[in-house]
Amino acid sequence: STQSTGSSGINAEYGAAAPAPEEEVPAVVEKTTFKVRLVGVDTGMKIKLIKALKVLMPELNLVAAKKLVESAPCELMDSVPKVEAEELKKKLSEVGAEVALE
């Protein structure tokens, strides 16, 4: 008898709780990962930007970093967490890059 009361209490809780998340879902849709795109480059700052890319993206060698800079606009990274993407944008902007987060 106690168990059935407990289950109906649980069912009532689930019934009451179910509509609340449904109402919140459309309002709270926040993007968590971003593409980091190099949109433009200050030509006087190309060398600093190439060096910064090598530091921020260790998998790039000098030639690959230079090609990325010269091929702007281009995608630098994909599926980057928001905080990291914003940090990359800040650091690259400091060395003459125009960066977009998508």
Q: Which pLDDT belongs to residue 17?
A: 52
Hey, what amino acid is at 85?
A
Write out pLDDT tens, residues 24-34: 555 556 788 99
Give the number of other Cβ atoms within 10 Å of residue 75's Cβ.
Answer: 13
The whole-model pTM stands at 0.67
Write out pLDDT tens, residues 37-51: 999 999 899 999 999
Q: How many helices (H) and strands (E) does the chain have?
A: 5, 3
Q: What residues contact 88, with CB distance under 8 A and at least 6 apart? A: 36, 56, 76, 77, 80, 99
Instruction: Give 14's DSSP letter.
Output: H
Q: Give the span between the Cα atoms of 97 and 85, in whole angstroms.
A: 14
